[in-house]
Amino acid sequence: MDRAEKLSINDVARLAGVSKKTVSRVINNEPNVSPKMLKKVQSVIDEYNYTPSPQARALSLRRSFLLSIVHDNPNASYVTEAMYGALEICRPAGYELIMHPCDFSKPNAIDRIIRFASHLKIDGVILLPPVSESVELTSRLKEIGCNFVRLLSTKSEDEVHMIYHNDGAAVNRIVSHLVELGHREIALIRGPENSQAANQRFAAFRSALKNKGLELPKNRVALGGNTFQSGIECAEWLLMSKHRPTAIFASNDEMAIGAIVTAQKMGLKIPAELTVVGFDDSPQASRMWPALTTANLHVREMTELAAQKLIAQCSGDIDAAAQVRVEVEPTFVQRQTTDVPATSAENA
């Protein structure tokens, strides 16, 4: 059915014996086209399987039909989920998706993102954490008139679109679970200090413990970098201590898995001798033994929402300009790393 030569609106117009403007009206479902014309044009379109050139439309309409996900990627699965979520929405809407990884720690990172967006006239950008936490970036994006939605870890007080998972609630749920299992000596492997998400999870964790009447001494908090390797190092440090914790909560799965590997190397049985909880529900969490208890953040759904919002906004939806502020409740996923009640854990 496809011809090798892609034909243009002019070809279609000629074949149908009408002006190109009429063809344009038909493809765009504009009103005021007589049924006769419509049928004539539509049949040519169908026969030759004509689709209008995205580049030409982009040039004429000053929009690109391009959405982009901008991310600084320590966490591949988060990004992958986001990608599939966005694609789910983009495809049927006639939008394409461009993934834009970056190294956000570089000094000119924001410049590069801005140049990228304005160069391609990207219609909308979905910002993933930690890129989404930058106020400078969002204000620069506003400056150039680029739509964006932020995916965040926690509600922010800004006035700009955001979709966030309620980390606090998830952390509470996790702490309750650990306490119910009888744990009292719970350590934290937290994320980097320049990450809002990490700071907020840390705060939520500490206050959750406090509510349970538990302490969080300094030697029970290890500072990680959200990476597997840092999980290993933090766990070594935590588990070497004289009175080692009976449970570790890592503020992402990567680090939790690093901790588990460390524990296993040391010969500790999980969960019997050490209980571990992560945060993310990455694919690996369910593909290991024992499988990791964690929190699923519904990144995919969040990104679908973000893409919908952006596309609606581009299409000039009346109320699409309204501020977006959606909260998504993470789901607690219990697996084998928290399968066994705490033991007294008297160790050397």
Partner DNA sequence: GCTCAAATTGACCCCGGTGTCAATTTTTCG
Partner DNA sequence: CGAAAAATTGACACCGGGGTCAATTTGAGC
Nearer to DNA, 120 or 291 (CB): 120
> Which listed option, its own copies, DNA, none, makes contact with residue 143 (CB within 5 to 8 Å by class)?
its own copies
Burial of 244 (0-12, 13-18, 19+ CB in 10 A): buried
* Residue of 49, 61, 143, 315 interacting with DNA (CB under 7 A): 61
Does residue 229 interact with DNA by CB under 7 A? no
Q: In sequence order, what DSSP letters do the residues of 171-190 get, joined into one string?
A: HHHHHHHHHHTT---EEEEE
The alpha carbon torsion through 118, 122, 127, 130 (nearest 10 deg) reads: -40
Partner in contact with 287, chosen from its own copies, DNA, none, beta carbon below 5 to 8 Å by kind: its own copies
Between 24 and 331, name the residue whose CB sits nearer to DNA. Answer: 24
Report how far apart, in Å, the C-alpha atoms of 94 and of each of 18, 61, 228 are.
Answer: 26, 15, 38
- Which of DNA, its own copies, none binds 21 (CB below 5-8 Å, type-dependent)? DNA
Of the listed pieces 60-68, 82-90, 168-176, 256-264, which binds DNA according to CB under 7 A?
A: 60-68
Cβ atoms < 10 Å from Cβ of 261: 15
> By CB under 7 A, is residue 107 in contact with DNA?
no
Select from 30, 46, 47, 96 the one that contacts its own copies (CB under 8 A): 96
Dmax of the chain from CA atoms? Answer: 90
Return the number of other C-beta atoms located less than 10 Å from residue 247's C-beta: 26
Give yes or no for residue 320 binding its own copies (CB under 8 A). Answer: no
Neighbours of 27 (CB within 10 A): 16
Q: Which amino acid is located at 213 in the chain?
A: G
With contacts defined by CB under 8 A, name the span among 142-150, 165-173, 190-198, 201-209 that binds its own copies. Answer: 142-150
Please give the residue ranges that form the binding site for its own copies (CB under 8 A): 1-2, 4, 6, 49, 51, 53-56, 58-59, 64, 76-77, 80, 83-84, 87, 96-99, 101, 111, 114-115, 118-121, 143-145, 228, 254, 257-258, 260-261, 264-265, 283-284, 287-289
